[in-house]
């Protein structure tokens, strides 16, 4: 566990994390396996909860609109260097933004081709694009089919729920366009490309109706995101010292609907990961558990950053000061703020260190721990909600396993 130091963001934890001592003590960084390329820095929507444009860090204003081919080639070179140095044979390349489809088909083709040719045939480069689907037309789908690119789409539920936030700059909702894009994606010719849906929770939306609206598209997977917030800027619907667990209750309602059917309709990543952790496995997502985060972000101008959800905390929270033109990804691994995401329970606050479900929860999503003065050395602002959700899943799964065991024993 960690001590708390500093009173400004420059000196808050983990800026003072002593990586040399960690190395001397035997800790070794985990190589990056997931590379997020912000190939376009602007968006064709103006969602009011977006951490890129609407929250503390306004650095996007300084970014070029599109990644240049020269920057893409530098990134590809750095990724290949990293895979060779660590003997990696399987990596993820995620095309992100802003809205990545604004980069256009030619630049997307260049990014995928450059990464695959630089890494060579011994490395499998799994490519995914995360889009709002407004521009998802036949031309993009043909390209994605040709290059084997999986497509993740952001959708917040039915039309009323989705259009609460996911609107154009002039206030028009985007649900009809997203639905049309999803219909094209889920036609038989392209359905194999469908990676899943990403949905941000809004307490005003009915949880079961929201989940069932997502099921209309038969997604192979659904990811629920909690709205970004921290101890300085509380999430919507939360008040200081309020003992309620509105987000935990919302997710419990979805869990019961998801778990309670005889045949599983889709994967819900958060629930699946919690069950996996409860059964003794390791997490494969940064939202729960204590597994090392092995993800690096390259901004549109080639600067290397941490996960961009940190932009919700304060200006520059995701920055590392490193750039693909000068720095290797191995150098990035030793930046204190990156190392802090890879040291398991040593990165937990004292409060989380004393928590009986710390191995399952892992302190929650890192961005949700921020508080001015103590930095990220805090429990999640969603702590009570996480306790509620994890305790519920543990109870339901334990009862189910008990029933099955007793049923099996009776035969
Ligand atoms: S439930 Fe709360 S105290 Fe426990 S690990 Fe998670 S954030 Fe920390």
End-to-end CA distance of the chain: 48
* Ligand 1 and 155: CB distance under 6 A: no
* Ligand 1 and 43: CB distance under 6 A: no
**How many Å lie between the centroid of ligand 1 and the Cα of residue 75?**
36
* Ligand 1 and 350: CB distance under 6 A: no
Q: Which atom of ligand 1 is nearest to the CA of 362?
A: 5
Counting residues of the chain whose pLDDT is more than 90, the rounded percentage is: 85
* Ligand 1 and 95: CB distance under 6 A: no
**How many Å lie between the centroid of ligand 1 and the Cα of residue 364?**
7
Q: Which atom of ligand 1 is nearest to the CA of 355?
A: 4
At 11 the pLDDT is 72
Pairing, β 303-305 against β 319-323: antiparallel
At 410 the pLDDT is 42
CB atoms near residue 266 (< 10 Å): 17
**How many Å lie between the centroid of ligand 1 and the Cα of residue 71?**
40
At 7 the pLDDT is 37
pLDDT digit of tens for each residue in the chain (411 aa)?
A: 444 333 345 679 999 899 999 999 999 999 999 999 999 999 999 999 886 555 555 565 678 999 999 999 999 999 999 999 999 999 999 999 899 999 999 999 999 999 999 999 999 999 999 999 999 999 999 999 999 999 999 999 999 999 999 999 999 999 999 999 999 999 999 999 999 999 999 999 999 999 999 999 999 999 999 998 999 999 999 988 899 999 999 999 999 999 999 999 999 999 999 999 999 999 999 999 999 999 999 999 999 998 877 877 887 888 899 999 999 999 999 999 999 999 999 999 999 999 999 999 999 999 999 999 999 999 999 999 999 999 999 999 999 999 888 886 443
Query: What are the residue ranges spanned by the domains of the chain?
Result: 30-229+240-345
Pocket probe mutation, ligand 1, options 283, 287, 351, 393, max atoms within 8 Å of Cβ: 351
In this structure, the residue with its CA closest to atom 6 of ligand 1 is 363
At 3 the pLDDT is 41
- The answer to whether the Cα torsion of 274, 280, 282, 284 is positive or negative is negative
**How many Å lie between the centroid of ligand 1 and the Cα of residue 384?**
8
Q: Does domain 30-229+240-345 have CATH number 3.10.590.10?
A: no
Tens digits of per-residue pLDDT, 4-40? Answer: 333 345 679 999 899 999 999 999 999 999 999 999 9
**How many Å lie between the centroid of ligand 1 and the Cα of residue 377?**
12
Tens digits of per-residue pLDDT, 359-392? Answer: 999 999 999 999 999 999 999 999 999 999 999 9
Contact (CB, 8 A) for 369 and 380: yes
Counting residues of the chain whose pLDDT is more than 70, the rounded percentage is: 94
* Ligand 1 and 387: CB distance under 6 A: yes
Strand partners, 186: none
Q: Which atom of ligand 1 is nearest to the CA of 358?
A: 5
At 306 the pLDDT is 87
| Distance from C-alpha of 306 to C-alpha of 167, rounded to nearest angstrom | 27
Tens digits of per-residue pLDDT, 275-302? Answer: 999 999 999 999 999 999 999 999 999 9
For residue 98, say if its preceding peptide bond is cis, omega within 30 degrees of 0: yes
Pocket probe mutation, ligand 1, options 358, 369, 378, max atoms within 8 Å of Cβ: 358
**How many Å lie between the centroid of ligand 1 and the Cα of residue 378?**
9
| Distance from C-alpha of 388 to C-alpha of 248, rounded to nearest angstrom | 5
At 339 the pLDDT is 96
Pocket probe mutation, ligand 1, options 379, 381, 382, 384, max atoms within 8 Å of Cβ: 379
The set of residues, in sequence order, having a beta carbon less than 8 Å from that of 102 and lying 6+ positions away, is 40, 42, 43, 44, 65, 66, 135
* Ligand 1 and 332: CB distance under 6 A: no
Supply the pTM of this predicted model: 0.93
| Mean pLDDT value across the chain | 93
**How many Å lie between the centroid of ligand 1 and the Cα of residue 350?**
10
Contact (CB, 8 A) for 120 and 84: no
**How many Å lie between the centroid of ligand 1 and the Cα of residue 126?**
33
* Ligand 1 and 359: CB distance under 6 A: no
At 5 the pLDDT is 37
| Distance from C-alpha of 337 to C-alpha of 209, rounded to nearest angstrom | 39
At 6 the pLDDT is 36
* Ligand 1 and 379: CB distance under 6 A: yes
């Amino acid at each position: 566990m960690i001590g708390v130091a500093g009173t400004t963001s420059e000196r808050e934890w983990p800026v003072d994390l002593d990586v040399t001592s960690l190395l001397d003590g035997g800790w070794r960084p985990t190589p990056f396996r997931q590379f997020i390329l912000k190939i376009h820095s602007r968006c064709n929507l103006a969602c009011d909860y977006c951490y890129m444009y609407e929250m503390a860090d306004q650095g996007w204003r300084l970014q070029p609109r599109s990644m240049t081919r020269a920057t893409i080639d530098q990134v590809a070179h750095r990724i290949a260097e990293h895979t060779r140095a660590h003997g990696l044979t399987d990596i993820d390349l995620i095309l992100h933004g802003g809205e990545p489809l604004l980069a256009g088909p030619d630049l997307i083709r260049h990014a995928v081709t450059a990464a695959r040719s630089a890494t060579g045939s011994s490395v499998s480069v799994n490519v995914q694009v995360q889009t709002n689907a407004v521009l998802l037309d036949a031309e993009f789908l043909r390209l994605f089919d040709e290059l084997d690119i999986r497509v993740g789409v952001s959708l917040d539920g039915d039309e009323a729920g989705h259009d609460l936030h996911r609107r154009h700059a002039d206030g028009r909702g985007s649900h009809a366009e997203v639905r049309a894009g999803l219909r094209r994606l889920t036609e038989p010719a392209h359905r194999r490309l469908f990676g899943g849906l990403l949905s941000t929770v809004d307490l005003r939306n009915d949880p079961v109706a929201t989940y069932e609206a997502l099921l209309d598209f038969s997604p192979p997977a659904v990811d629920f995101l909690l709205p970004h917030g921290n101890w300085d800027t509380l999430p919507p619907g939360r008040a200081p010292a309020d003992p309620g667990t509105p987000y935990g209750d919302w997710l419990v309602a979805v869990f019961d609907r998801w778990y309670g059917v005889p045949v599983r309709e889709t994967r819900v990543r958060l629930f699946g990961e919690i069950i996996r952790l409860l059964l003794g496995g390791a997490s494969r997502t940064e939202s729960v558990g204590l597994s090392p985060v092995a993800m690096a972000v390259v901004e549109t101008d080639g600067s290397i950053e941490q996960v961009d959800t940190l932009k919700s905390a304060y200006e520059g929270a995701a920055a590392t000061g490193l750039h693909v033109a000068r720095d290797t990804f191995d150098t990035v691994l030793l930046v204190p703020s990156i190392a802090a995401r890879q040291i398991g329970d040593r990165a937990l606050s004292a409060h989380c260190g004393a928590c009986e479900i710390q191995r399952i929860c892992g302190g929650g999503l890192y961005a949700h721990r921020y508080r001015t003065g103590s930095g990220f050395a805090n429990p999640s602002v969603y702590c009570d909600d996480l306790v509620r959700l994890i305790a519920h899943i543990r109870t339901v799964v334990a009862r189910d396993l008990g029933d099955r065991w007793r049923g099996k024993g009776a035969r």
